[in-house]
Each structure stands twice: as C-alpha cells, then as structure tokens.
Amino acid sequence: MTGTVGGIMSKLGQVVEAIEKYNKFVLDQVKRARSDEQFGRELLGRWNDTKAKIPITRTPTGVPLPRLALPEIDEPGEIARYLFGEGLPGEFPFLNGAYREMYLEPIREVESFEKNGETVAARMAPVKSSNARPPLPQAEEPTRLFSGLMLAEDTNERFHYLTQHQRTHRLSTAFDGPTLYGIDSDADGVFGKIGEGGVAIDTVEDMMRLYDGFDLGSPNFSASMTISGPAPIIMAMYIAAAKRRFGPKVVPKLRGTVQADIFKEVQAQNETIFPIEASLRFLTDMVEFTTREMRRWYPISISGYHIGEAGSTPVQQAAYTLSNGFAYAEMFAARGIPVDQFGPRLSFFLDCGLDAEYIALARVSRRIWAIGMRDVFGAGPRAQLFKLHTQTSGRSLIAAEFKNNLTRTAAELVLAYMNATNSCHSNSADEPFTTPSEEWIRLAAHGQAILLEESGIFKHTMNMLSGSPGMKAVERAVEAAILDEFREIARLGGVLAAVEDRYQRSQIQSAAHRYEQQIYNGTRPIIGLNRYRDDEDDAPEVKLVRTPRQKQQLQVDRLAKFKKKNAEKAKRALDRLADVVERGANCFTVLLEAAEVCSLGQITGRLQEVVGRFRPMV
C-alpha cells in the first residue's frame, strides 16, 4: 500500500501537457475551419442546426427568449473556437456547464424554434401548467444549506424545518469539533465543544436520530456529510443506521456524499487524524466499497472551499483542488478501480467570493478537469464531468455592519450561478457570529429562490451571463495561472510530495497574511470596516445558537450507556478491525461491523494504535 501511494501522484505534468495540447488543437481547428472549405461548411451547418433546435419561450412580460444563448458568429473559425474551445452546455470541454439546461424552468409553452433567422411554428407539445402551484425551476432544487447544531435531535428538527417546502430533501450536515476530530464527547477537555458549530455524533444511535423521519432510500433524499478525517468511520455509521431503519436492502439505494477529502484537510482545514498515507488508504478502501455496492453514492467531495476560506487566492484554490482531484484519480486507478466507475462518483466543492477571478473560476476548472480526465486518464463522458457544489464565501462576511452581508452573499450567488454550479449554499448574514439562527438562514435560502425563481436572470436562458469579453479575459488569465501552479507542484514531485513539503500550506498562509494586511492598510476596501464605517455600529443583536450544558451532559450520558451496553461486542469488533488493518486488506467491511457496536472515539483510538496519529504541520 505504502508503495502505491508514495510512488504515484505525479501525473500533473501530463495534465499540463494535455491542456496545452488541447489548446493547440483548438487553434488548429480554427485555422482549419478557415482554410479547409469543406470543414468550414460542415461547422457552419452544425452551428445553424444547433441554433435551429433551440426552443424559444416567452418571459412573463411577453418577450421571446431562446433557451440557449449563443454568440453571434457566422464565421467558421470563430464557430470552431466556440464549439471546441468552450463546448455547448453539457458538451466537452464543458466550459459553459456540465449539463444542458441547469436551472431553466421546465418548458410550459414553447413559442417557436429559431431557424436560420426565421421563426417557425413550435413542434413541441405544450406542457400542462397547474394553477395550484407555480412551477419550480427544475426537478431538484439546487439550494442545499449546511447545518448542524447541538444534539442529533436538534439538527433533525432543523433539517425538517429547512426542507418543509422542498420536494427533494437534500440535507447537508455539519458536525461539531469532537466529531470532526474523531473523538468522543466524553474525551478529556472537550465538554464545552459538544454540539458547538455542528452536531455531536458519537454512535450509530445518534446517526439514527439525526435523519429520523427521512426516507433514506428514497430517490428524493440525499445526505451530505461534511467530514473528512474520520469520514470512513462516519460513513460506516451512516450505513449501519440506514440498515437498522430500513433493512440491508437499502444500502445500494443510498444517495449522498461524504466529504472525505484528506489533501485539503492537510492543506487547509486541519482535521486529519491519521498519518496522510493511512488516511488515503482508508479513503480508498471506502471508495472501493461504495463504487461497488453503492452506485449512487459520492464517496468524496474534492473541496476547494476550505482552501479559499483559509485565505488562499482564487487561483490557488482552483489549482490545489484540481490537482488534489487528479491525485485521487491516480490513486483510485492504482487500486484497480476503473476510471469510468469512480470518475462519475467524484464531485467538487468550491468557494465563491467577490474577487474578479470568481467570474470564471468554476468554468475554467470544469474545462481543465474534463480535458485532464479524458486525455490523461482515458475517462468516458460521464467521468469527465466536474460536478460542482458552491458555497458563498464565509470569510467575506464580516461582523461590522453585518447586514451588508446580505448584499455580499447575493452578489456571490450571482457569480456562482453564472458559473453554472450544480448546487449551492448561501451563507447567512450572521455567519461571523454563530451557527446561523433561523431568522437569517431563512433569508439566505430565500436569496437563492429570489435569484432563481423570482428573477429572470437564470430561468429562461442558458448562458444568459456567459461569454462576455471580460469573462473571456478572466478565463485566459485564470487558466494560465492554474497551469503555472500545476507546473510548480509537478516540479516538487506531485501532490503528495508537495503536501509533505508544506508547499500548499505555506502558499495559502502567505496569501492569507497578504489579504489581512490589505484590509488593514485599506488597499482592499471592505464596506463598513475600512470604508464608510459607521461608528455607531456596536455589538449587533444576533441570536446566538449555543448548546446548553444539560444537552452536553445528555450526550455524555447517552454515550456512557452505549459503551456499557456494547462493551463485550465492541472489544471483539475492534480486535477484528485492528487485525484487518494490520494485514493491509480493505478494512471497510469490518469497519461497518465495528460501527454497529463501537463509538467513533473507540474506533479512531484503535486505528491510531495501528497506523499512528497525524503529525500536524505548522
């Protein structure tokens, strides 16, 4: 195992070459379209054909709009540049979107198709619209709000509150500190942290309470669990809880994702609990299991959010996230999992702040990922997709005159959807102070609804805001800068070597330092803080969400009971687990057994005895 991990993760150089080669290919196509008449005619034909098939719908005010906007070009070279360089939404290299229609509202009445400039009668049967309820933009709402507080039952209540008006239940779970570090609520010195900033989960019983009342096997349900260090253990608990509630047949039906991104933990979020290589091994064990047994599960969410929030530049964020992604791909392939099996089960998570790069950061990332996966890893179409969850930047939200945070988040949401994110979390305005309270979380959720459902910005036309000259300029600059970062990481021996060298960490730290310096020397305007500051604004009145001591004590008591009840079985399960880990075999199935009778901390502790603890980096 050690051998495979240590020896790989150096394909980044090949990715750089593949992108360069692809860019050259695009230029060649442009030239050819101009010199080779037949090719030029072919392209023009395809272009006109595509345009002819675009349905036209009317806005509520009666303006006809195409469901896909394309640039006004009729010269074969430019058409080639667009089709090969960007691709239509849903087409390689996916610059404009992973899917064809994204947030468009379902077609009610198709006005007409545009054909060679003239309008012909609609061929599509109108979809019946019901008067009872206004149509929703798409089958699944992209809104997905991250939440977790106090004990499992409290978070459960919040989940029900958040999903009460949604047809699809997509829950996103935040865990508390002890859980994130794989330790139990009864561990030394953690009492005050129980249920703070997320939900406290120690055992499979907590896990059952957490999603109580939701139908875990339903196609309309998915659970996202934001945890990485102990991800395989928490995943095992989730499966165990699902089995207890719905029987073993539920397992292949489970949908959702667990973050499980170890590289970004070491680079930015600081929740690694086992040595890096052991962590990667446990991850791969889990991925091997889920790609085989749980075809609908996303076993890893490759995350730049934490890198961005730790203070990186947007380019660093995208570059490290993508290179981490390629390193995982290399690792899973080395384990013998076919790329077309794990590829479609990878998803990404990016931050979206207010810097100019965010105008196109996710677009460029999607393109780089597709080309790298296709040309370096031989991935088929489904494994080329960069499926993206975005969160607006928490760090851009500040305490001073905090109601301005609503505007910041709104602007970031526009950017996120301009980048065709597949789902999105919008932060609450009280983000700097506390786990969001219901008042502000409601506004945050409604911000998305206003943008997607109320406003006409995203629901009528794909590419509504894509392709401006400014956006193209950002794309070029960002892509070049990301490739430079790739080259540097490749020079250091690949992702793992660079991580062990602290390369990404130190880059992020200097960027963060620069960012704070810019705020306090005034070169980075922050309204209400270093500009237009209202000195009247003292302590804002926000409702703090804090876990009462009795609840914390309740969690400790529950855990004690669980441990007592399962003492014998836990011992045997842990011995079996240790044995399999020691032998180097895939340990996920024994982990599943252990999760039935052991607490999170018991499992972590035993695994650490075998593989050691993570050695933090400065």
Binding site for other proteins (CB under 8 A): 2, 6, 176-178, 180-181, 183, 188-193, 196-197, 269-271, 275, 278, 309-311, 398-400, 402, 432-434, 500-501, 509, 512-513, 516-517, 520, 529, 538-539, 544, 546-547, 610-613, 615-618
Beta bridge partners of 65: 57
Asked if residue 441 lies in contact with residue 162, where contact means CB atoms within 8 angstroms, the answer is yes
Asked if residue 353 lies in contact with residue 395, where contact means CB atoms within 8 angstroms, the answer is yes
* Residue 115 DSSP SS3: strand
Cβ 226 to ligand B12 shortest distance, Å: 5
Beta strands 256-258; 221-226: pairing state: parallel
Distance CA 157, CA 255 (A): 21
* Residue 392 DSSP SS3: strand
Q: Which does 226 bind (CB under 5 to 8 A by kind): other proteins, ligand B12, none?
A: ligand B12
Percent helix, percent strand, percent coil in the chain, to nearest 5: 50, 10, 40
Distance CA 451, CA 412 (A): 11
Nearer to other proteins, 192 or 248 (CB): 192
Nearer to other proteins, 158 or 387 (CB): 158
Q: Which does 121 bind (CB under 5 to 8 A by kind): other proteins, ligand B12, none?
A: none
Nearer to ligand B12, 177 or 528 (CB): 177
Distance CA 400, CA 404 (A): 9
Q: Which amino acid is at 476?
A: R
Nearer to ligand B12, 306 or 563 (CB): 306
Asked if residue 506 lies in contact with residue 342, where contact means CB atoms within 8 angstroms, the answer is no
Q: Which does 400 bind (CB under 5 to 8 A by kind): ligand B12, other proteins, none?
A: other proteins
Nearer to other proteins, 449 or 497 (CB): 497
What is the side-by-side order of every strand in the sheet holding 169-174? Answer: 146-147, 169-174, 221-226, 256-258, 297-298
- Rounded alpha-carbon distances, angstroms, from residue 351 to 174, 304, 354: 17, 6, 10
Beta bridge partners of 297: 256
User: Is 139 buried (19+), middle (13-18) or exposed (0-12) by CB count in 10 A?
Assistant: exposed
Nearer to ligand B12, 218 or 270 (CB): 270
Cβ 184 to other proteins shortest distance, Å: 11
Q: Which does 325 bind (CB under 5 to 8 A by kind): other proteins, ligand B12, none?
A: none
Nearer to ligand B12, 334 or 354 (CB): 354
Cβ 192 to other proteins shortest distance, Å: 3
Q: Which does 509 bind (CB under 5 to 8 A by kind): ligand B12, other proteins, none?
A: other proteins
The continuous run of DSSP H or E covering 147 comes out as: strand 146-147
Cβ 394 to ligand B12 shortest distance, Å: 3
Nearer to other proteins, 181 or 377 (CB): 181
Cα Rg, the chain, nearest whole Å: 25
Asked if residue 423 lies in contact with residue 389, where contact means CB atoms within 8 angstroms, the answer is yes
Contact positions toward ligand B12, by CB under 6 A?
148, 174-175, 177, 180, 196-198, 226, 268-271, 306, 309-310, 394-395, 397, 431-432, 434-435, 516
Nearer to other proteins, 6 or 126 (CB): 6
Nearer to other proteins, 509 or 589 (CB): 509
- Rounded alpha-carbon distances, angstroms, from residue 577 to 261, 474, 582, 609: 22, 50, 8, 11
Q: Which does 174 bind (CB under 5 to 8 A by kind): ligand B12, other proteins, none?
A: ligand B12
| Rounded (10°) angle between helices 276-293 and 600-611 | 120
The continuous run of DSSP H or E covering 598 comes out as: none
Q: Which does 275 bind (CB under 5 to 8 A by kind): ligand B12, other proteins, none?
A: other proteins
Q: Which does 617 bind (CB under 5 to 8 A by kind): other proteins, ligand B12, none?
A: other proteins
Nearer to other proteins, 180 or 464 (CB): 180
Nearer to other proteins, 180 or 318 (CB): 180
* Residue nearest ligand B12, CB atom distance: 197
CA 182 to the chain's CA centroid = 22
Q: Which does 75 bind (CB under 5 to 8 A by kind): other proteins, ligand B12, none?
A: none
The continuous run of DSSP H or E covering 192 comes out as: none
Cβ 16 to other proteins shortest distance, Å: 22
Cβ 617 to other proteins shortest distance, Å: 7
Asked if residue 104 lies in contact with residue 97, where contact means CB atoms within 8 angstroms, the answer is no
* Residue 425 DSSP SS3: strand
Number of H helices and E strands in the chain, helices first, is 22, 13
Beta bridge partners of 147: 173
Cβ 179 to ligand B12 shortest distance, Å: 8
Token duo for residue 38: 């037949």
Nearer to other proteins, 6 or 45 (CB): 6
Beta bridge partners of 558: none
* Residue 582 DSSP SS3: helix
Beta strands 221-226; 300-303: pairing state: unpaired
Cβ 511 to ligand B12 shortest distance, Å: 12
The continuous run of DSSP H or E covering 284 comes out as: helix 276-293
Cβ 35 to other proteins shortest distance, Å: 48
Q: Which does 513 bind (CB under 5 to 8 A by kind): other proteins, ligand B12, none?
A: other proteins
Cβ 517 to other proteins shortest distance, Å: 7
Nearer to other proteins, 356 or 512 (CB): 512
Q: How many CB atoms lie within 10 A of CB 340?
A: 15
Distance CA 489, CA 319 (A): 10
Cβ 516 to other proteins shortest distance, Å: 5
Token duo for residue 20: 């360069």
Q: Which does 148 bind (CB under 5 to 8 A by kind): ligand B12, other proteins, none?
A: ligand B12
Cβ 403 to other proteins shortest distance, Å: 13
Beta strands 55-58; 112-115: pairing state: antiparallel
Cβ 233 to other proteins shortest distance, Å: 16
Q: Which does 394 bind (CB under 5 to 8 A by kind): ligand B12, other proteins, none?
A: ligand B12
Please give the angle made by the CA atoms of 348, 350 and 355, to the nearest 5 degrees: 155
Cβ 268 to ligand B12 shortest distance, Å: 5
